[in-house]
């Protein structure tokens, strides 16, 4: 099972880090991306209780899938 997950991991990764004040800039970048894009990892400085709601909101605005990372996640194209 784990081997199959590794086969689906992105070969290219985009990493983005933003501060608490960078949420609008992050939204602008992510909403401009097409559905077919390399996997993305984001570090967003924000109070823990707000991150899930922020990810859900971005997911509704973006062509790519946006969500909080979960244990065992793989970085996949379009996510």
pTM of the model: 0.82
Judge whether residue 1 has pLDDT over 70: no
Condensed to tens digits (0 to 9), the pLDDT of residues 56-68 reads 999 999 999 999 9
- Give 18's contacts (C-beta < 8 A, 6+ positions apart): 25, 26, 42, 43, 44, 45
- What stretch of H or E contains 45? none
From residue 37, give the alpha-carbon distance in Å to each of 31, 34, 72. Answer: 12, 6, 21
Helix (H, G, I), strand (E, B) or coil at 24: helix
Domain ranges of the chain: 2-61
């Amino acid at each position: 099972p784990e081997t199959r997950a590794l086969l689906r991991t992105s070969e290219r990764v985009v990493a983005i880090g933003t501060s608490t004040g960078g949420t609008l800039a992050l939204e602008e970048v992510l909403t401009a991306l097409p559905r077919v894009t390399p996997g993305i990892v984001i570090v967003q400085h924000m109070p823990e209780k707000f991150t899930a709601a922020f990810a859900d909101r971005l997911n509704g605005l973006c062509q790519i899938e946006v969500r909080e990372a979960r244990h065992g996640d793989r970085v996949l194209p379009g996510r």
